[in-house]
Amino acid sequence: MSYRITFRTIIIGFVVILLLIVLGGWLALRFFPQETGRVIEQITSKLPRFIFGVPPQEVTTVDIPTSPLIRVQGIIYYDPEKRVLTQVSQQATTRLSDPLPSDRFFVHLSPDGTKALVAEVKPSSSRLYASKEPRVKYIYDLRNKTETPLDARILDGIVWLEGGEKIAYIFQGDPPRLNIAGADGTNFQTLFTGEALRDTFLLFVSDDQKRAVFFTFAPDGLFQDAKILEIREGVVTTAFPSSSGDMVWNREGSTILFTESSGINMRLKLYDVARKTIHELPLRTAADNCVAVPSRSSFVCANVLDENKKPVKQLFEIDAETFEVTPLLFDLSTVPSIFDLALSEDEKTLFLIDGANQVYQLKIFP
């Protein structure tokens, strides 16, 4: 007996297979919704962006004068001629502050964009270079244009909490203390006390106030070691040495991306706080060229060098859990260089700043 495969047989077979796939997917979602959702997310996250209707796109230019600091529903920048903070959005340009005295500089803003730290030394970039000497003078409230002076024993490492409603800082008293307080400096609470905090620079405090990251200084004034403080247990451990202080971390402080060495010999590494392990990544760039994307448990990096140590005009995403590196499909040919980068509040738009303080933006995630 012989069978003849007809076009009709092929169509029927295809329809049956399709129905089985749909039925299997429905049953999986019906009885195993969480596990199925994770599998779907893992599969789709690896697909090229254009599959979702977001084709590779050119970056667009944001027309601002100079020195962007941060982005909150637009871009906030410091105008050096008028010495004011100004916000640029699609709707309007708004001046946010009164002019600063000639010996004061805006350092960085709270995540909600309502307050700014003001220092007496000009920062070299949007991140304030650390020092043992206190240089941050006061907190400036952009809503009512008021200044709150800071105690001289509070060093440069000041961390925003709760979007800007509170601050965390190391108070260099006797003994030193890790405190949190209202943004006006009142109602402070001590989280940890100990000589381990002496002459250190605070980098990070987790939202749940369980973990802090700080740097110690070498005798020459440079960074020496990154240390992890488990606040409730009162345990301080040395995570890794880093003379550059070049690092970026996720919101929980569970993963730290840092740079070992510098220049063309730099190595990008990922420190897992819970496992206390270090994983070297196949990217040659500085951690300062990366931003954390909390909703995706990942980091996006620029300014990567190839095997010949030449810059590659491409963005890369690092999965903080699997350490997988994925190139992102965006055309950066119009960007001459990338001096700094930042992520929008909704984590969908990336801002790139070149050496001439020109800002470019692109929608990086759908």
Q: Which residue segment(s) compose the domain that 197 sits in?
A: 100-240
Indicate the number of domains in the chain: 1
Tell me which residue of 121, 126, 147 sits closest to 78, measured CA to CA.
126
- Against a cut of 0.75, is the pTM above it? no
Phi, psi dihedrals of residue 264, rounded to the nearest 5°:
-75, -10
Kindly state whether residue 135 falls inside one of the protein's structural domains: yes
Tokens linked to 59: 């970056």
pLDDT of 60 reads: 60
- Examine residue 358 and state whether it is found in any structural domain, yes or no: no
Per-residue model confidence as pLDDT tens digits over 100-138: 887 777 777 787 778 888 877 654 443 334 444 546 678
Nearest to 136 by CA among 157, 160, 114, 162: 157
pLDDT for position 331: 75
Mean pLDDT, the chain, integer: 75
The answer on pLDDT for 144 being more than 60 is yes
Q: Does 275 fall in a domain? A: no
pLDDT tens digits, 181-191: 888 777 889 99
Flag whether 125 is in a domain.
Answer: yes
Q: What is the rounded average pLDDT of the residues 71-79?
A: 62
What's residue 54's pLDDT? 36
- pLDDT tens-digit readout, 252-305: 778 888 887 755 677 889 998 888 899 999 888 888 889 888 888 899 998 888
Provide the pLDDT for residue 353: 74
- 357 vs 223, residue with greater confidence: 223
* pLDDT digits 0-9 by tens, 302-357: 888 877 778 788 899 999 989 999 988 777 877 787 777 778 777 888 878 776 76
Residue 345 counted as domain residue: no
The CATH number of whichever domain residue 117 belongs to comes to 2.120.10.30
**Which segment of 6-20, 162-176, 346-360 scores lowest on mean pLDDT?**
6-20
Residue 193: per-residue pLDDT:
94
Q: For residue 180, is pLDDT > 70?
A: yes
184 occurs within a structural domain = yes
d(CA 278, CA 318): 14
- What residues does 170 pair with on adjacent strands? 178
Q: In angstroms, what CA-CA distances link 23 with 10, 16, 28, 152?
A: 20, 10, 9, 67
Q: Which pLDDT score is estimated for 190?
A: 93
Question: H helices then E strands: how many in the chain?
Answer: 2, 30
Question: Among 18-32, 55-69, 310-324, whose mean pLDDT is lowest?
Answer: 55-69
Q: What pLDDT is stored for residue 132 in this prediction?
A: 46
Cis check: omega of the bond before 294, within 30 degrees of 0:
no
Is there a domain that residue 179 lies in? Answer: yes
In a domain, 89, yes or no: no
Share of the chain above pLDDT 90, in %: 10
Give the span between the Cα atoms of 91 and 142, in whole angstroms. Answer: 19
Closest by alpha carbon to 229, among 205, 252, 257? 205
